[in-house]
Every structure is written in structure tokens, then in C-alpha cells.
């Protein structure tokens, strides 16, 4: 059961390799596999809800010697989200990617990326996590560079250089940690570190790992690679990157710093909160200054990462559940924004705000598809972003972090400003005279592009109108994270 989210994408990638020149088959396999991943994710979530945390030992080697896979509520929620995003992006890219990219193995690579993401969510072993990071990095590098245009290579090289540095830091941290504790199983590490004095090397290791994961998650001061590389590749690729890759970084931060280093998290609270606040603020300011839609959304991704980190910094059940809820909301809402941008770029051949205009008259649905997720990201009440921010801000007030709360609210206003400003530019203002003629899209293509976008926007809307069930789930997930004993028992069998 726990292996299925890994086996499905792996088997599909292999099948895709065997069917290298048969594009139709690859496309079909990609869609089926992502749908299967979504179903397996839902089954996993149901099982975890019934039985609590579950674990499996690869190769039947008992923990802490072998590699353990663990699913608690947080990981299974994220597996469901991965399946959903995988499905939406695969369907969208049926119409969005060109023949050349597909013949270079776009669909098998997407599956390898999903494999790496699912692996990172499920693994219970720090070194294994590093391996999954590398799987993701390899797949994402090829996806970024696929097609090999000049500016694409430029973005890809920045991305890879920064991520390699992150991997080196991570590996150094893991090596030191193994030297100090003699184990890399996360549950075992949690126990070992409880009985050790937290002076000298251990805070250093925590700082190393924090930096490594922060680079992956694009947290201040390591966020600059993201806007530099996210504006060049095809829109479907950026969507999956922004929805899942940076969230993997945040997931790992939450996992490692609640399970293994809870003391360091509390000690470093001011630093984490400062990083969160600056990430929000600088991301938003960057977005305000961008005249190009894709770059603006890339900065917006960075800015929202700050909110996710804020939950970890506050370190209470309410704050963490807010973070988890916000993470699920932002995946859907931000992806809907990116996908709509892709449709606009396809229709008009441009994504520069100055060259766009007047689309509302011809495409009111498209305007709604941009406006709903935009307002949701900004946090306007009946939409999903509101509830995530509400929980985070309540938690901030309870912990007395007034400055943090003020920054979070201020950034929301900025977000509202630049997203509605973009909306007005694209849809409301009269089309500039230099605007190119609109491209015609054949109906089946239009459906392939619009169906996933509509699904995600509706998801954000429904999540906003009925936040209760999911929020309760996120709350139990947060409580599970804050009481790691069930996690440790599930992995090691007994609590020593």
C-alpha cells in the first residue's frame, strides 16, 4: 500500500521509455498513472485516518537499519495533492506541450518528477530523502531545459547551480548528523537526540539542514533563484514546480524541525519568523515591480512561501494546521493562476501586462478563472486563502507575535493590489493598438486547457465555502506532528 505511490509513477516512466516514439501511448499512460496516483492517495488517506500512522520497511529490513516509508496525515494529504496536481498538469500539457518536447520524453520525465515528490513525502529516512531530492532535481533539470532554447538554458543553469549547493549542504548536514548520532532513521534520530545535550554540533547541523531546505523551498535569503528560472520553461512545467517542488521543501522543513529538532525550532523562533516575514515582504515587493505576468507570479510563489514558514515559526497546533491548510489551498489557487496565464499567453502570444488588454469582452470565463484564484491567494473571505490566513493570524495573535501578524496582513494587501492590477491590465483595460490578433484554439485543445484550470479554481472556491472538513483534517495532522510519539511507535514498533 505505502509503496504504490512510488511504484505507479516508476512503472509508468519505464513503460514510457519502452514506448519512446509512441507519443499517443505515452500521453495515455501519463493521464492514467496520475489518475491512479490520485486514487491511491485517497485510499492512503482513508487508511491513515482509520489506523493512525502506518509504516512499511523496504526489503523487510527492520527499522532503524533499513529504509522506512511512513505515512501520517500530513504526508497522505500531500500525496493526494500530488495526485491531483499531477492529473491536472498532465491533462493541461496534452494541449500545451509541443511535439518536439513530447518526443524528447516529456511525459515519462513528469512521472519521474512525481516519483521523486511522492518519495520525499513518504520516506522516513534522512539519507533516503536526499536520494529523492536528487531524483526530483534530475527530472526537473531536464524538464526545465527540454527544448533547449537559449533563455531556457539560462534559467535551468541558475536553478541547477543553486540546487546543487543545497544538496551539498544537505549532504554535509546528514554526514555530520550520522557522525554525532549513528543513525539516519528520522524516528530513531528523534529519540537519540532527546537524550543528547543540544550544544555544539547539533545546532550547527540544524542550521545547515535549515539552509539546505530553505534553498529548495525558496525562503529568504535564498529565494532569488526561483524568479530567475521560473519564467522560461513551458507553463505546465512551472505549474507543477510551483505547486509541488517548493512545497516539498516546506514539508521537509516542517517534518524535520518538528520531529528531529523541536528544541532548535523553539530556540530559533525569532530567526524563522524573520525569514518568513522577509520572504513574504520581498516576494510581494518583487511581484509589484514586475511588468511581466510570469515573473510576477514567480515572485508571488515566493511571497506565499513565507506564510507556510510562519506556521512552523509559531510552532503551535493552530499555526501548523493553518500552514497545512494554506499549503493545500495555495497549490490549487496558484496553479489555477499559472494555468490561466498559460491560456492567455497561448491566445495572445504574450504575457507582458503592457501588451495585453480587453480580454474580458471575448473571454469572460477566462477572466473569472483568473479573478477567483487571485482573490483567493490574496485572502478575500469566501475563498480558501482566507481561512488559511485566518488560522495563521489567530495563532500569531495568540503567541503575541504582533509584528509578524502586521507583516502578514500588510503583504495580503500588497498581494491584492498586484493581482487585481494584473487582472485589470489583462482583462479590463482596452486592448492596446499594438496587440496581435488572437489565436484560434480548436475546441478539444480548449477543453484540455480549461478543464484542469476550472477544476482547480472550483476546488479553491469549494474549499473556501466548506473549509470545515479539510480544516479539521489539517488540525489532526498538526496535532499528530506535534506529538511525534505515534510516528515513532509506528516506525520502531515500540517507544523505548
Partner 1 sequence: MHSVILATAIRLLLPLMLLFSLFLLLRGHNEPGGGFVGGLVVAAAFALYTLAHGEKEGRRMLRVDPLRLVASGLLVALVSGLLPLLVGLPFLTALWSSVPAPVIGHAGTPLLFDLGVYLLVAGMSLLIIFTLMEE
Binding footprint of partner 1 on the chain (CB under 8 A): 3, 7, 10-11, 13-14, 17-18, 20, 56-60
CB atoms within 10 A of CB 279: 28
Q: Do residues 176 and 151 touch, judged by C-beta distance below 8 A?
A: no
Is the separation of the CB atoms in 246 and 301 below 8 Å? yes
By the 8 A CB rule, do 181 and 175 touch? Answer: no
Quote the cell numbers at residue 448: 484540455
**Shortest Å, Cβ 58 to partner 1:** 5
Nearer to partner 1, 19 or 42 (CB): 19
Determine the Cα–Cα distance for residues 111 and 192; give it in Å rounded to an integer. 36
* Residue 308 grid cell: 507556510
In terms of phi and psi (left: phi > 0; alpha: psi -120 to 50; beta: otherwise), the region of 52 is: left
Decide whether 9 or 286 has the Cβ nearer to partner 1.
9
- Hey, CA dihedral for 336, 338, 343, 347, is it positive or negative? positive
Mention every residue, 6+ apart, whose C-beta is less than 8 A from residue 43. Answer: 1
57 vs 476 by CB, closer to partner 1: 57
Q: Which is nearer to partner 1, 10 or 305 (CB)?
A: 10
Smallest separation (angstroms) from partner 1 to the CB of 56: 6
DSSP state at residue 58: G
Residue with cell 531545459: 145
Query: Smallest distance, Å, CB 34 to partner 1?
Result: 19
Cell numbers describing residue 68: 522506512
Backbone φ/ψ region at 400: left (φ over 0), alpha (ψ -120 to 50), beta: left
In whole angstroms, what is the distance from residue 377 CA to residue 238 CA? 17
Separation between Cα atoms, residue 330 and residue 326, nearest integer Å = 6
Cell, residue 103 = 518526443
- If the CB atoms of residues 115 and 296 are measured against partner 1, the closer one turns out to be 115
Of 461, 187, 203, 471, which Cα lies nearest the Cα of 317? 471
Q: What is the closest distance, in whole angstroms, from the C-beta atom of residue 104 to partner 1 in the complex?
A: 12
- Residue with smaller CB distance to partner 1, 56 or 461: 56
Q: Nearest distance from residue 373's CB to partner 1, in Å? A: 38
How far apart are alpha carbons 494 and 399 in whole angstroms?
A: 34
Q: Which is nearer to partner 1, 48 or 236 (CB)?
A: 48
Element (H, E) at 381: none
Q: Based on CB atoms, which residue is closest to partner 1, 115 or 332?
A: 115
Which residues are CB-neighbours of 392 under 8 A, at least 6 positions away?
307, 310, 311, 314, 319, 322, 323, 326, 408
**Least distance from partner 1 to the Cβ atom of residue 43, Å:** 17
User: Considering beta carbons, is residue 57 or 167 the nearer one to partner 1?
Assistant: 57
Report the nearest approach of partner 1 to the CB of residue 61 (Å): 8
Q: How far is the CB of 7 from partner 1 (least distance, A)?
A: 7
Taking Cα atoms as reference points, which of 368, 363, 333, 372 lies closest to residue 446? 363
Distance in Å, CB of 195 to partner 1, minimum: 30
CB of 119 to partner 1, least distance (A): 13
Which residue number, 3 or 402, has a Cβ lying nearer to partner 1?
A: 3
**For partner 1, the closer CB: 57 or 420:** 57
Are the CB atoms for 75 and 117 separated by under 8 Å? no
Q: Report the C-alpha gap between 103 and 22 in whole angstroms.
A: 8
Closest approach of partner 1 to the CB of residue 6, in Å: 8
Q: How far is the CB of 145 from partner 1 (least distance, A)?
A: 15
Smallest distance from partner 1 to CB 113, Å: 16
18 vs 161 by CB, closer to partner 1: 18
Q: Is 70 helix (H, G, I), strand (E, B) or coil?
A: strand
CA 346 vs CA 92, 332, 442: distances in Å: 12, 21, 12
Q: Report the residue number, 20 or 402, with the smaller CB distance to partner 1.
A: 20
Alpha helices in 399-442 (DSSP H): 402-423
Amino acid at each position: 500500500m505505502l509503496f504504490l505511490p512510488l511504484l505507479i509513477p516508476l512503472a509508468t516512466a519505464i513503460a514510457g521509455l519502452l514506448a519512446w516514439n509512441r507519443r499517443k501511448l505515452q500521453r495515455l499512460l501519463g493521464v492514467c498513472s496520475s489518475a491512479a496516483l490520485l486514487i491511491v492517495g485517497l485510499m492512503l488517506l482513508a487508511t491513515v485516518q482509520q489506523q493512525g500512522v502506518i509504516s512499511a520497511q523496504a526489503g523487510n529490513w527492520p527499522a532503524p537499519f533499513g529504509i522506512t516509508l511512513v505515512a501520517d496525515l500530513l504526508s497522505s494529504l500531500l500525496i493526494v495533492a500530488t495526485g491531483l496536481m499531477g492529473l491536472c498538469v498532465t491533462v493541461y500539457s496534452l494541449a500545451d506541450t509541443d511535439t518536439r518536447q513530447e518526443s524528447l520524453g516529456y511525459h515519462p520525465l513528469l512521472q519521474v518528477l512525481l516519483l521523486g515528490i511522492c518519495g520525499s513525502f513518504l520516506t522516513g529516512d534522512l539519507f533516503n530523502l536526499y536520494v529523492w531530492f536528487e531524483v526530483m532535481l534530475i527530472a526537473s533539470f531536464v524538464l526545465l531545459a527540454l527544448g533547449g532554447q537559449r533563455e531556457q538554458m539560462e534559467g535551468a543553469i541558475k536553478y541547477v547551480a543553486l540546487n546543487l549547493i543545497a544538496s551539498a549542504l544537505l549532504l554535509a548536514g546528514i554526514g555530520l548528523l550520522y557522525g554525532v548520532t549513528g543513525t539516519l532513521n528520522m524516528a530513531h534520530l528523534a529519540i537519540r537526540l532527546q537524550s543528547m545535550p543540544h550544544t555544539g554540533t547539533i545546532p550547527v547541523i540544524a542550521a545547515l539542514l535549515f539552509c539546505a531546505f530553505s534553498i529548495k523551498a525558496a525562503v529568504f535569503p535564498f529565494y532569488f533563484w526561483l524568479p530567475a528560472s521560473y519564467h522560461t520553461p513551458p507553463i505546465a512545467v512551472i505549474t507543477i514546480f510551483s505547486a509541488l517542488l517548493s512545497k516539498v521543501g516546506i514539508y521537509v522543513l516542517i517534518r524535520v524541525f518538528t520531529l528531529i529538532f523541536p528544541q532548535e525550532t523553539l530556540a530559533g523562533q525569532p530567526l524563522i519568523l524573520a525569514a518568513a516575514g522577509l520572504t513574504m515582504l520581498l516576494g510581494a515587493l518583487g511581484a509589484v515591480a514586475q511588468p511581466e505576468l510570469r515573473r510576477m507570479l514567480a515572485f508571488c510563489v515566493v511571497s506565499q512561501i513565507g506564510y507556510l514558514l510562519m506556521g512552523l515559526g509559531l510552532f503551535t497546533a493552530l499555526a501548523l494546521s493553518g500552514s497545512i491548510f494554506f499549503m493545500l489551498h495555495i497549490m490549487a489557487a496558484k496553479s489555477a493562476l499559472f494555468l490561466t496565464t498559460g491560456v492567455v499567453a497561448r491566445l495572445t502570444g504574450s504575457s507582458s501586462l503592457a501588451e495585453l488588454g480587453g480580454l474580458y469582452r471575448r473571454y469572460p470565463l477566462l477572466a473569472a478563472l483568473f479573478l477567483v484564484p487571485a482573490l483567493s491567494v490574496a485572502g478575500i473571505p469566501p475563498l480558501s486563502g482566507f481561512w488559511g490566513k485566518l488560522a495563521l493570524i489567530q495563532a500569531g495573535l495568540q503567541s503575541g507575535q504582533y509584528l509578524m501578524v502586521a507583516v502578514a496582513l500588510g503583504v495580503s494587501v500588497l498581494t491584492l493590489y498586484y493581482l487585481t492590477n494584473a487582472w485589470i491590465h489583462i482583462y479590463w483595460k482596452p486592448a492596446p493598438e499594438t496587440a496581435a490578433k488572437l489565436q484560434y484554439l480548436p475546441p478539444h485543445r480548449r477543453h484540455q486547457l480549461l478543464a484542469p484550470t476550472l477544476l482547480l479554481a472550483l476546488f479553491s472556491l469549494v474549499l473556501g465555502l466548506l473549509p470545515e472538513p479539510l480544516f479539521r483534517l489539517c488540525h489532526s495532522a498538526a496535532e499528530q506532528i506535534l506529538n511525534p510519539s505515534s510516528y515513532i511507535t509506528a516506525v520502531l514498533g515500540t517507544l523505548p
